[in-house]
Structure 1
Amino acid sequence: MMLCSTLPSTPSHHHQRLLEPPPSTVNTLLELKQAHALLIKTQSHHSLPLTRLALISALTNHFSYAHNILLLAPNSQQLISWNFCLKHFAQGHSPQDAITLFRRLRQMGTPIPDHFTCSFVLKACTRVSDIQTGRIVHAFMEKLGLRANLVLQNMIVHLYSVCGEMSDARLVFDKMPQRDVVTWNIMISQLVKAGDFRGAYGLFCVMPERNVKTWTSMISGFVRCGKSEEAVGLFLEMEREGLKPNEVTVVVVLTACADLGDLELGRSVHRFADRCGFHGNVHVCNTLIDMYVKCGCLEEGYRVFETMGERRTVVSWSSMIAGFAMHGYGEKALELYDEMIGSGVKPNHVTFIGLLHACSHMGLVEKGREFFATMTRAYGIVPRIEHYGCLVDLLSRAGLLKEAHEVIINMPMWPNGVIWGALLGGCRLHKNTELAEEAMRHISELDPLNDGYYVVLSNAYAEVGKWEEVTKIRKLMKNRGVKKTPGCSSITINGSVHEFVAGDETHPECNEIFEMWDKLLVKMKEKGYVPNTSVVLLDVEDKEKEKFLFRHSEKLALVYGLMNTKPGMPVRIMKNLRVCEDCHAAFKIISAIEKREIVVRDRNRFHCFKNGECTCKDYW
């Protein structure tokens, strides 16, 4: 009777006492028994009820003793006590203990679990991805008639999807008698994580009600699958629906802006984030840095970086280092690294990718070798394939082709097409067709449909006058169904993106563009510009080569930008391929003639032209 008398009269009082932390002095089973005996002898149940002693027993893994204490209690009181134990474990640092306790309770024949029991165990199963126990709980739910419990059904859908059982999650989803926005969001977000963007978008389109999380999940899905333009379109549609983006939405949209180089939208999102007070969010700030860097606004990215102060993380530093390297300010990247180390922030593998890029763009071979060794020796960072790619690129650009080849041969992992492609690019630059052929043999096996590598090898042959080999490469591409990607450049004017393809004569203002180019050409030649027809790798007359040169997509985009922006305004261009030597030389001269800053983001890096010079210092 004494055991029963120590039980609380109401569940609420019992809940309050169970939430108190167990005394640290009770650690062993012997101490528990002594405490139990003392309670019975002194009848001190007001200071420590026996139900709480049972809880202490369970929390110290003495389940059997806890079970014995609660045996004389009514079933409802037993279940309340056990549910609190399960909740404690499921929400704490040891969710696996909740699963262990649940299994022990089934073995000990405790009262039939209720919906609280199921929810706590499902939470634990989700945290440790225990699908087997989750299926057992699901069976209990069916047996207990809990199919109409929306919260539990949502938890089951979440568990199956988190554990990769998307077909089972979809089956439960389809059979649910009712769904709420949480149900739909679970399915959409998990389909996005699983890479099934089409399935996620299909649900999104038929969803009866959407909230900010729904839109954010779908926008994130588009960004992850490389459809940043669609992501931005969805974000603008979300705004038209009157929904207010949260911090996660802001981060995802800024990522899309960075991919597209959409500076205007990026700035607009930045202003919105400031109005909402999101500037205190480190993740938002880091993404802003990345967006500005990739949109060609290094100074604005650095301003965000400076405002962060002591809130800077290794991501902040690494993004800024990579930004300086990408824009041609390698010295500043190395200075920032020293500042980072001085501030006590430990670099990670991304930091060293940025540093190696900086060395590669400046030709600092010794410094690059030093960083490659330092990352392992000083920080225990095992080089990844990206680091080897940077090292091979550094050596290849510097003409150390034999050493670059040895690095590839001795890599601890299998080299991919990017690694061999870096060597191939160096071979073209330094006219080593023999080693270029070896690199291409490997690339043909690893990445046979990438047109860029065929073009590089073809260019390598053309630059040394091996036109027969050029013809063979073109036939090989045709036989393998590989088509050359045309050069494409884009420029954003007043929120509208204008795209130009090499040789494009379809733009509504093409005649005006060509007229202005002819006028510019006269001024350029007065400044010493001579068309570099060697970059046109066709066996045709020079006049015909010049025509090809003057219709390069970046030239068309630049002229259109000069025509449609105010004098003195920067012109920002995005290109899908590498900028050619002739366009590079022309842009330097035009920047001086027009007194404009011209920023071009090509496939590899940024070229910032100003006052007749480029930040790459003609080393790219």
Structure 2
Amino acid sequence: MKSFGISLSLKSKRSLSLIRSLHGHQYQIYRPKSHSQSYHHHLAVGDTATLDEPLAIATNWKSYLLGTQVHGRVFKWGFSNDTFSQNNLIKMYSECGVLSDGLKVFGEMPKRNLVSWTLIISGAVRNGEFEMSLEVYLEMTRAGLLPNEFALGSVLKASTSMGNDVDRLSLCVHCFALKVGMESNSFVGSSLLNLYAKCGIIEAAERVFEDMDYHDVGCWNAMVGGYVQCGLGFEAIRTLSLMKRDGKLMDNITFINALKGCLAMGDLEFGRQIHGIIVKSKIEQSTSLVNALMDTYFKNAKKGTAFKLFNVMQKRDAVSWNTVFAGLSPDVEAREVATLFSNFMLTKIKPNHLTFSILFRLCSDIHQLNLGLQFLSLAFQFGFYGEAHVASSLINMLSRCGAIKMARLAFDGVHFKNIYNWNELISGYNLICDTEALKVFCQLRRLGIEANECTFSCALEACSKTENLRVGRQIHGIIVKYGFSSHGYICSSLVKGYVKLGLLADAFKFLCELEKSDMVLWSTLISASAHQGFPSEAIKFLNCLKEVGGEPDEFMLGSILNGCAVNASHHQTKSVHSLIIKTGYDTNAFVASAVIDAYAKYGDIESARIAFDHSSKYNDIVLCNTMIMAYANHGMVVEAMELFEKIKLANLKPSQATFVSIMSACNHTGLVDQGHALFKSMTLDYGMEPLPDNYGCLVDLLSRNGYLQDAKDIIEQMPLKPWPAIWRSLLTGCRIHGDRELGEQAARELLQLAPENDAAYVFLLRVYLEDGNWDDAAKVREQMMERGVQKSSGFSWIEI
């Protein structure tokens, strides 16, 4: 290696050591032993052409063992000085992932040509040694060689993969390509497009694309993918349309990038059209393409269509199954996950680290902890436990299941922890509002581990939850010291933290001291103030925003109105409403709905009706739902039913929330038959599956009106697992109508699901005391004291 002054990286050395230690095993993976033996016996004395075929086979099969045997023959026959043979050996070692051996061959070559240098550069990029590829490129240019398109393209790919901004070397390479007339080469051009797009300079990528004389499918794909990387989904779809209009050839990568563009836009209609083009092109059996289609349908809540594609796939791979697992909703039944995974294990496909990461995320519920632990044992068996992403998902699952001690054990069991593991543990402690989250953050700092924006945000959340202002200010200082104070996500977390601690002046001061405060931060300040019960201060901040030339948006106004609704602030609601009319947001469905709700919560139903009449009325189902709920809360069931009939006449399809609102109106006036009929019409007339809120509304309606056994039958027969609120509704009905036996059963079920709920304890205590059962009453009191449960005190307020 004296003639070539680049040392092997640790990554390359580890790879070489691992491959040599698994020498025989790796060979068995690529091809049966008989192939290498046959070539070994037939390789008698010959010329370099005799070695071409076995060397090409070793390269294509990525068979390190066969390649080393051919290398031995090259040396034995005296071709070690032949440049052509040495170049082929470099290529073979690079393809087999043993770049270190390729570098040895390169270092021992008496004569190197342009191909030799280019193979080392492209091999370094292929093996993830991006810095090395740049160093080799510079060595090559210093040696007086003129780089070809493959060398330039590989160097540009290395710059892109390193994730840095466009640096001087990248610009020099671009200028060199312009100088020698290689900017129009498709390989160099597509590499330039990828570079500028990944760095977010899409305008530069567009200019490169326009200046190219010829665009092959790789260049078009780079342009479509570049738009997707920059979040410009519409431009990606438009580029696909231009390709189709001009009759350009489209391949799998084209359609996969276009489908990502549909996801960026959130427009499934374009996705369906692309699906049609794929079917027409007769390439719908491509596994990677079907995987992308399934992902598109899953992320647009079209689970049935995605499963249809999955069921008709001719060839599935691990990505196919991972896509299906990732497409399952978080509240999916453990039985469904277990059944699907069992079917997966019956195939010959083995799960990978992403499979277990996704499965752990699906088990983030206390009822699915047992299933998650079974997946954990399989992760151990397959050797994925120590993988960073798997460990992060495992810590997340255990934390969300309430097993924070097990999450800590899992964290401590990871030998090579990354920052994501630390973030998950801090977030897990935040779920139980434990000061341990701050201790973990301090431990991370002592070990010198570099924190990221997520770490600081989690630490700030821990400060606000534990109300530790002193540590919060220290973390603020660290954020400023390490240059994160201008990061939007962290700034929002700081503002929220100060507001939650009641330090609104500090939050406002921090925002004003920023060099650049955008509308997102103003929205965070105003929304957080309103959410924390400070609507007056939120309005003051809104006025400050207007003074500096900013204009409120619908989210700010909606947040303030929601705060006014919670506090029943009539005067402030009127003030904000006048501003809404002035700025023209009174026809916005989100803002108008908040206005109606704020007036209704105060009791001014007439103003709510006027606001509804001045809005878009029957053009938006959310507005109608809000008005129906306002009528329901005021016992105006006739008006609520009239509005529901007008919705149907306007051909406006009701939603599940519509039925919750109208059934609530029936509940307030005891119209059991009408409420039950409305519940049935959801499925019979509109083909909608009832949601938990719909079942909860029906059970509450039956319970409050004395149909207790019917309510219990609904709970036991519904296709959903019961939740605490639905048992509490039945418990309330039992308390109203004096059904102690059924009430005791409901209370026990409620305590199993929510041991901290005071309603079940109070009901049992009252039943036992009225029956003179002092021993059981004492036991209930002891349980309340052990678990720290206290009866919630009622309160009320008025605005003066």
TM-score by length of 2: 0.48
Residue 142 (structure 1) shift: 1.2
Match of 2:448 in 1: none
Cα pair 1:181 1:211 within 8 Å, conserved: yes
Match of 1:46 in 2: 78
Q: Distance in 2 between matches of 1:103 and 1:444?
A: 58
Match of 1:363 in 2: none
Q: Distance in 1 between matches of 2:366 and 2:250?
A: 37
Match of 1:131 among 147, 170, 174: 170
Paired AA for residue 437 in structure 1: S
Please show how residues 78-477 of structure 1 align to structure 2 within 5 Å: 78-110=113-145, 112-128=146-162, 130-139=169-178, 141-142=180-181, 147=184, 150-207=186-243, 208=247, 209-228=249-268, 230-231=270-271, 234-235=274-275, 238-239=278-279, 241-244=281-284, 253=293, 256-257=296-297, 259-272=299-312, 276-278=315-317, 280-281=318-319, 284-285=321-322, 287-293=323-329, 300-301=336-337, 311=353, 313-314=356-357, 316-321=359-364, 333-335=400-402, 344=413, 348=421, 351=424, 355=428, 359=431, 367-370=432-435, 372-373=437-438, 376=441, 383-385=455-457, 388=460, 404-406=500-502, 417-418=523-524, 421=527, 424-427=530-533, 435-439=534-538, 441-442=540-541, 449-451=552-554, 454-455=557-558, 457-462=560-565, 466-477=569-580
Q: Distance in 2 between matches of 1:251 and 1:618?
A: 48
Q: Distance in 2 between matches of 1:171 and 1:403?
A: 46
Q: Distance in 1 between matches of 2:118 and 2:190?
A: 20
Question: Structure 1 residues 468, 612: closer, same or farther in 2, change over 3 A?
Answer: closer
Query: How many residues get paired?
Result: 503
Is residue 656 of structure 2 the alignment partner of residue 554 of structure 1? yes
Q: Distance in 1 between matches of 2:284 and 2:679?
A: 33
Question: Structure 1 residues 155, 468: closer, same or farther in 2, change over 3 A?
Answer: closer
Residue 187 (structure 1) shift: 0.9
Question: Structure 1 residues 388, 79: closer, same or farther in 2, change over 3 A?
Answer: closer
Match of 1:510 in 2: none
Q: Distance in 2 between matches of 1:324 and 1:549?
A: 41
Q: Distance in 2 between matches of 1:140 and 1:57?
A: 35
- The C-alpha deviation readout for 1:292-336, integer Å capped at 9, x for no partner, is 2257667535655787888554454345427989xxxx9993246
TM-score by length of 1: 0.59
Q: Distance in 2 between matches of 1:544 and 1:503?
A: 22
Question: Structure 1 residues 385, 249: closer, same or farther in 2, change over 3 A?
Answer: farther
Q: Which runs of 5+ in 1 are unaligned?
A: 1-7, 21-42, 71-76, 360-366, 396-400, 428-434, 489-501, 508-513, 518-531, 601-605
Residue 190 (structure 1) shift: 0.9
Cα pair 2:130 2:161 within 8 Å, conserved: yes
Paired AA for residue 500 in structure 2: A
Cα pair 2:526 2:538 within 8 Å, conserved: yes
Cα pair 1:223 1:252 within 8 Å, conserved: no
Paired AA for residue 329 in structure 2: V
Q: Distance in 1 between matches of 2:579 and 2:78?
A: 88
Cα pair 2:426 2:441 within 8 Å, conserved: no
Q: Secondary structure at the match of 1:293?
A: coil
Question: Structure 1 residues 95, 467: closer, same or farther in 2, change over 3 A?
Answer: closer
Match of 1:571 among 667, 689, 694: 689
Cα pair 1:293 1:301 within 8 Å, conserved: no
Question: Structure 1 residues 151, 247: closer, same or farther in 2, change over 3 A?
Answer: same
Q: Distance in 2 between matches of 1:546 and 1:152?
A: 66
Residue 468 (structure 1) shift: 2.9
My pick for the range that moved more, 297-306 or 257-266, is 297-306
Which structure shows the higher helix fraction? Answer: 2
Cα pair 1:356 1:391 within 8 Å, conserved: no
My pick for the range that moved more, 445-454 or 210-219, is 445-454
Match of 1:536 among 630, 637, 658: 630
Residue 176 (structure 1) shift: 3.7
Which structure shows the higher strand fraction? Answer: 1
Cα pair 1:536 1:549 within 8 Å, conserved: no
Question: Structure 1 residues 113, 394: closer, same or farther in 2, change over 3 A?
Answer: closer
Residue 186 (structure 1) shift: 1.1
Please show how residues 456-535 of structure 1 align to structure 2 within 5 Å: 457-462=560-565, 466-482=569-585, 483-485=588-590
Paired AA for residue 501 in structure 2: H
Identical residues among aligned pairs (%): 12
Pick 1 or 2: higher relative contact order, CA cutoff 8 A, min separation 6: 1
Cα pair 2:682 2:690 within 8 Å, conserved: no
Question: Structure 1 residues 101, 260: closer, same or farther in 2, change over 3 A?
Answer: closer
Q: Distance in 2 between matches of 1:533 and 1:79?
A: 76
